[in-house]
Amino acid sequence: MKTANQQTLTIPRQGQRINLALHVAGVVILFILPAFLSSYIQSVMTRFLIFALFATGYNLAFGYAGLTSLGHAAYFGAGGYTVAVLKLHYGSDLFWVGAPLGILVATLVAAMFGIIALRVSGIYFLLVTFALGQLLYSVAWNVSWLNTPGMQGVSGLSLPTFGIAGFALNTTSFYYLVLLVCLICFYLLFRIVNSPFGRALVGIREGEDRMRSLGYNTWLYKYLAFVISGAFSGIAGVLFGYYNYLISPTHLGVGTSFLPMCMAIIGGVGTLLGPVIGAAVIIFVELYASIMTPERWPLILGGLFVLAIMFAREGIGVYLWRLCNKVGHHYGSTKS
Amino acid sequence: MEQFIINLLNGLSYGMVLFLIASGMSVVMGAMNIINLAHGVLYMIGGYVGWTIAVKFGAPFVLGLLAGGLAAGFTGLMLERGFLRYLYKQPNEQVLLTFGFVYILTNLSLWVWGGWPRMPFTAKFLSGSFEILGRAYPKARMATIIIGLVMAIVLWWLQDKTRVGAMVRAGMDNKEMAMGLGINMERVFALVFFVASCIAGVAGVLGAQLLGVYNALGLEILLLALIVIIVGGVGSVQGALLGGILIGVIDAFGRALFPKLAMFTMYFTMIIILLVRPSGLLGRRT
Amino acid sequence: MKKFIVLFLAILLPASVAFGAPEKPLKIGAILNYTGPAAMLGPLFKNGIVKALEENDNKIAGRPIELIVEDAAGDPSVCLEKARKLVERDKVKIIIGPLMGDAHLAIAPYMANKNVLITTLYCGDIQLGNYRNWLTYPTTLVGLTVPLGWYAHDSGYKTMVMITSDYAGGHGFMKGVRMGFEQKGGKVVQEVFVPVGTADFGPYHSTLKDADCVAFFVPNTAESARLITQYREFGVKMPLLGTTLAADLPEAVMKDLGDNVIGVRGQAAYIWSRDNPVNNNWVKAMEKRFGMTPGGLANNSYCITSAILAALKATGGDESFDKLWPALVRVQLDTPQGPLSFTPEGFAITDGYIVEAKVIDGKYMWDPIKVYPQVLDPRLAK
């Protein structure tokens, strides 16, 4: 039985057209739909996009390089905390400062942690990344410079400003900003994944010894994948800091590190945009389940995980994609 | 001097609970390469059932231990036979599945036992304290240390000195070879998982003497187990014991001497071990 | 194909159901804990709200009242999500809750310019007064525990050791104890900080210095129980003074603790056995309605809701913030907890009770032994 990691992505020519059509349709929907929805739904969709970015960035290391990290919230939270500290201690919410700085900090943390974590593999890698994430969590909890007085974490964050007089973001325009950033990032990730570098990662995931005997510096490839995925997680974290009005130590800990992993697995690890579907599923199901039944919603979410694993093993995203392919193939064959 | 002994005993008693919590999860990780995130919830179920038997129905504490162990064991068995056995080489799926069960089982426990936590409870003859070097020390903690050591010996004996243990260790190294030798690995695995889950349940009842039982335990215990496994190494009883005792003692002394840094000491130890010996103190090098 | 449809519907249906919502009734939102560490508290708080609403036939000035309850999940980020949902989608003007201190400070900046009345459920930080849209009941963290500090001194204790849970809430509560105690001339000789979620208090109990008394705060039932049990196990003899006792250790839990809890004294915001006609009637009514004796939690939400309803009566059912807030801070009620009024910033002024754990008629209960009337956070009394 093929696991999600082992599946290959051979796209038949017909499928390529369908693939493109699907993607374009998706982007168009994301652009047009929110204009007709309430600001509340817009903010939920913003949240979805942020986590979709987080999960997709994470999947570069997880799905493509086979690095099972349980501590990526460290880089996500690092981005968020940078934004927070800038607001808390310097009163600044300038996007031109916060975003680059946040990405830089997240990348540095990933660079440091990557060196430690990549000394081991397999289950130990998971444990080490978990430990590093928890370490950052306890730092954020205890160091008072990282906390608003009177609480754990930093509150009072707000939507970013651009230093342009008279121009302020609102929920809707922030959504489009996030959408723009996400589209740019997805495009970058697409290029990375389809480059020789990306293909080498898959090769390393499938057989590291083989790649090494071919002369690849596998450690370096894995390290780069790790750091790059950390950087993208940091971008998501920066956006999250602006979106969420608050950042807390939990955003650095294992509770948040689980999310991109679950989203990637549910959506489909072997594809670039599988995690996006996973993010949509988890965020919307969790929200609506907890509104429908404030007491029993964990049963619904947990049940979803179990069902997804037992019946859509390679991920719901892949499942949907195959489905669309089948439909397209059906129409395609009758057309020609 | 007495303070040192008291701190040491505190560390050992807490460490024994940690050992028991981690040992099941570690052995399953090492023998079956299964990541069972629901291990902490099994601990909690054991604790709740033990409470129901020992406190609500007033039965003897030992019966509570037994009931808690079996309840957790059968829950674990259901998990393994019904779901995990289809996911043997797929760690990602295991993570998501067991995490889903954490949500489900935690919420079900909330439904059954309600949100109010259960107070620490112990056997009648273990309540109260006795004197050590002029200071009072709780009997229940002493009992926990002793029981923990006994279980450590039993488990070590099972792992290293019995045929079943040998089969498990063989399967750990090379599953196909072991099967080729006629060993029914499926049954062995189911047995290992069952025993590991039972231990988690017993740990839940023993730990309840110190901690009580409450709904957030499922995730808290998981975190602790992971820390112990990181320090002690995956796959062996000895590793879990060493890791548990080390963490327990460091935590106890850390809290007594540097109360402000308490959370730090545990994570700090973890990181030091990781830098020096990334596969844990007694872990098998991968 | 089937599975796809099922999944699709599973996401879409609830979404469309959640979309439609009528406008006419008066909507009150509540953010309560149904999952997470404080999961058992949600239903209790809801009882208090429901009782207050039912006493008014679920109507005010002819408008039916619609209560929308959301799960806080014990997470400030989730509280913020739910607050946004209540404000932006349901368009409520009144939110009761959330419970946790950092949830307050987390959502306060967001709520600051929304013209929505929002309340605490069990104390809030003094900073909330700056926003002028928070109802802080029964008082600030410090205001709640200052009476305990006074009581310690009034009992003749000169020195004190404090065990403080190391997070913002813990610091806040114990600050009040210290303030009250030192205000009257007492001296705190040691403050031990314990991390949130401490399983093993043994190491701390073994290092306590000698003092006339030990005051403590840990944030929930399980920890309080462990602290007390282990305190006795380690043979520490100094008198124990606790905070938020009746809320953290309700009678059912006291019974489980048994003799270990006898003799513990401390602060409680509300105590059901207080002999007072308003209280006695309310307790009976609550027992009849919900089948259990009410505690401080149900009382808090009841009093808060009653105050809001009284203000709504005064405005003739107008829930717009500019009318509601001035009416609310002028409310004066005789509640089961005691006399209630508010400062202009929205801090409630209530009586503070000192209680002692006793066995009376074979039942474990908190017996009120002293009352400090109309307590105000010393920092507010300028």
In this structure, is residue A6 part of a structural domain? no
C145-202 pLDDT per residue, tens:
999 999 999 999 999 999 999 888 889 999 999 999 999 999 999 999 888 878 778 8
DSSP string, C308-369: HHHHHHHTTS---HHHHHHHHHT--EEETTEEEEE-TTSBEEEEEEEEEEEEETTEEEEEEE
Query: Cβ contact (<8 Å) for C109 and A158?
Result: yes
B7-34 pLDDT per residue, tens:
888 889 889 999 998 988 988 888 788 8
B32 interfaces chain C, CB cutoff of 8 Å:
no
Identify the band that residue C302 occupies on the pLDDT scale cut at 50, 70 and 90. Answer: very high
What residues make up the domain containing B122? Answer: 2-276
In this structure, is residue B28 part of a structural domain? yes
Residues C134 and C145 in one domain: no
How many domains does chain A contain in total?
Answer: 1
Query: Cβ contact (<8 Å) for A302 and B107?
Result: yes
Residues 6+ apart with CB under 8 A from B204: B42, B43, B44, B45, B46, B47, B48, B50, B68, B72, B213, B217
pLDDT at A235: 96
Please state at what angle helix B91-113 crosses helix B39-51, rounded to 10 degrees. Answer: 20
Residues C235 and C121 in one domain: no
Identify the band that residue C15 occupies on the pLDDT scale cut at 50, 70 and 90. Answer: low
Q: What is the mean pLDDT of residues C1-24?
A: 52
Query: Cβ contact (<8 Å) for A304 and B92?
Result: no
pLDDT at A228: 96
Task: Say whether A311 sits in a helix, a strand or coil.
Answer: helix
Residues 6+ apart with CB under 8 A from A11: A19
Query: Cβ contact (<8 Å) for C106 and A151?
Result: yes
pLDDT at C2: 52
Which residues of B fall within a CB distance of 8 Å from C253? 116-117, 119
HEC per residue, A159-221: CCECCCCCCCCCHHHHHHHHHHHHHHHHHHHHHHHCCHHHHHHHHHHHCHHHHHHCCCCHHHH
Residues C84 and C207 in one domain: no
Distance, in Å, from the CA atom of A218 to the CA atom of C183, rounded to the nearest integer, reads 67
In this structure, is residue C313 part of a structural domain? yes
DSSP string, A77-138: HHHHHHHHHHHHHH---BHHHHHHHHHHHHHHHHHHHHHHHTTS-THHHHHHHHHHHHHHHH
Residues 6+ apart with CB under 8 A from A150: C101, C105, C125, C127, C168, C172
Q: Could you say which of B116, B136, B253 has the minimum Cβ distance to residue C40? A: B116
Considering Cα of A48, then A50, then A56, then A62, what sign does the dihedral take? Answer: negative
* Chosen from C23, C80, C81 to mutate, greatest number of chain A CBs within 10 A: C81
Q: Could you say which of B33, B104, B223 has the minimum Cβ distance to residue A302? A: B104
Residues C116 and C192 in one domain: no
Residues C146 and C178 in one domain: yes
Q: What is the DSSP letter of B285?
A: P
C167 interfaces chain B, CB cutoff of 8 Å:
no
In this structure, is residue B285 part of a structural domain? no
Report which of A234, A283, A186 is spatially closest to residue A73, judged by C-alpha positions.
A234
Q: Could you say which of B96, B278, B283 has the minimum Cβ distance to residue A266? A: B96
Query: Cβ contact (<8 Å) for A246 and C3?
Result: no
Report the predicted TM-score, pTM, of the whole model to 2 decimal places.
0.84
Query: Cβ contact (<8 Å) for A294 and C42?
Result: yes
Average pLDDT, whole number, for chain B? Answer: 85
Residues C336 and C360 in one domain: no
HEC per residue, B148-216: HHHHHHHHHHHHHHCHHHHHHHHHHHCHHHHHHCCCCHHHHHHHHHHHHHHHHHHHHHHHHHHHCECCC
C193 interfaces chain B, CB cutoff of 8 Å:
yes
In this structure, is residue A14 part of a structural domain? no
List the structure tokens of A182: 């996400």
Chain B, residues 162-181, CB within 8 A of chain C, namely: none
Distance, in Å, from the CA atom of C271 to the CA atom of C274, rounded to the nearest integer, reads 6
List the structure tokens of C41: 């508290």
In this structure, is residue A262 part of a structural domain? no
- Tell me the HSE value of C317 on the side-chain side, using a 13 A CA sphere: 12
In this structure, is residue B181 part of a structural domain? yes
CA distances from C202 to B95, B122, C229, C372 (A): 35, 17, 10, 34
By the 8 A CB rule, do A117 and A211 touch? no
Query: Cβ contact (<8 Å) for A294 and C110?
Result: no
Which residues of B fall within a CB distance of 8 Å from C234? 129, 135-138
By the 8 A CB rule, do C139 and C123 touch? yes
In this structure, is residue B63 part of a structural domain? yes
What residues make up the domain containing A93? Answer: 41-253
Identify the chains in contact with A, defined as 3+ C-beta pairs within 8 A: B, C
Task: Say whether A335 sits in a helix, a strand or coil.
Answer: helix
Query: Cβ contact (<8 Å) for C71 and A251?
Result: no
Residues 6+ apart with CB under 8 A from B141: B9, B10, B13, B209, B210, C202, C233
List the structure tokens of B178: 């072991």
A260-315 pLDDT per residue, tens:
999 998 888 888 888 999 999 999 998 889 888 888 899 999 999 998 888 877 67
Indicate the range of A229-243, B127-141, C219-233 predicted with least confidence: B127-141
What residues make up the domain containing C119? Answer: 24-138+275-346
Report which of A224, A247, A223, A189 is spatially closest to residue A55, judged by C-alpha positions.
A189
How many domains does chain C contain in total?
Answer: 2
Q: What is the CATH number of the domain that holds B190?
A: 1.10.3470
Which residues of B fall within a CB distance of 8 Å from C198? 262
In this structure, is residue A123 part of a structural domain? yes
Q: What is the DSSP letter of C112?
A: T
Highest mean pLDDT pick, A224-238, B125-139, C71-85:
A224-238
**Interface confidence (ipTM) of the complex:** 0.83
pLDDT at C22: 43
Residue A332 has pLDDT above 80, yes or no: no
Interstrand relation of C94-96 and C117-119 (parallel, antiparallel or unpaired): parallel
C209 interfaces chain B, CB cutoff of 8 Å:
no
In this structure, is residue A286 part of a structural domain? no
Q: What is the mean pLDDT of residues A62-66?
A: 91
Q: What is the DSSP letter of B147?
A: H
Q: What is the mean pLDDT of residues C118-134?
A: 92
In this structure, is residue B259 part of a structural domain? yes
In this structure, is residue C364 part of a structural domain? yes
DSSP string, C182-251: HHTT-EEEEEEEE-TT-S--HHHHTTPPP-SEEEEE-SSHHHHHHHHHHHHHTT--SPEEESSHHHHS-H
Report the amino acid identity of residue B148.
G
In this structure, is residue C1 part of a structural domain? no
Q: Could you say which of C193, C198, C206 has the minimum Cβ distance to residue B7? A: C206
Which residues of A fall within a CB distance of 8 Å from B225? none
In this structure, is residue C17 part of a structural domain? no
Residues 6+ apart with CB under 8 A from B76: B36, B38, B42, B193, B194, B196, B197, B198, B200
Distance, in Å, from the CA atom of B99 to the CA atom of B227, rounded to the nearest integer, reads 18
Measured between CA atoms, the residue of chain A closest to residue B224 is A131
By the 8 A CB rule, do B147 and B18 touch? no
pLDDT at B284: 64
Which residues of C fall within a CB distance of 8 Å from B222? none
In this structure, is residue C11 part of a structural domain? no
Residue C135 has pLDDT above 60, yes or no: yes
Name the helix (H) or strand (E) containing A68: none
pLDDT at B172: 66
In this structure, is residue B286 part of a structural domain? no
In this structure, is residue A265 part of a structural domain? no
Say what percent of chain C tops pLDDT 90: 59
pLDDT at B28: 87
In this structure, is residue C80 part of a structural domain? yes
Chain C, residues 240-299, CB within 8 A of chain A, namely: none
Residues C111 and C70 in one domain: yes
pLDDT at A30: 86
Residues C134 and C216 in one domain: no
List the structure tokens of C176: 């009040």
CA distances from B172 to B11, B175, B190 (A): 32, 6, 14
Task: Say whether A19 sits in a helix, a strand or coil.
Answer: helix
In this structure, is residue C293 part of a structural domain? yes
Neighbouring CB atoms inside 10 A of C289's CB total 13
pLDDT at C21: 42
In this structure, is residue B47 part of a structural domain? yes
Residues C363 and C223 in one domain: yes
B173-224 pLDDT per residue, tens:
677 777 777 777 788 888 889 999 999 999 999 999 888 898 888 888 898 8
In this structure, is residue A183 part of a structural domain? yes
C225 interfaces chain B, CB cutoff of 8 Å:
yes
Task: Say whether C30 sits in a helix, a strand or coil.
Answer: strand
B257-266 pLDDT per residue, tens:
777 676 677 7
Give the closest-approach CA distance of C127 to chain A in angstroms. 9
Indicate the range of A60-69, A104-113, A195-204, B116-125 predicted with least confidence: B116-125
Distance, in Å, from the CA atom of B135 to the CA atom of B131, rounded to the nearest integer, reads 5
In this structure, is residue B169 part of a structural domain? yes
Report which of B223, B207, B204 is spatially closest to residue B109, judged by C-alpha positions.
B204
How many domains does chain B contain in total?
Answer: 1
Name the helix (H) or strand (E) containing B57: none
Q: What is the CATH number of the domain that holds C246?
A: 3.40.50.2300
Average pLDDT, whole number, for chain A? Answer: 86
Residues C103 and C210 in one domain: no
Residues C36 and C157 in one domain: no
Report the amino acid identity of residue A136.
L
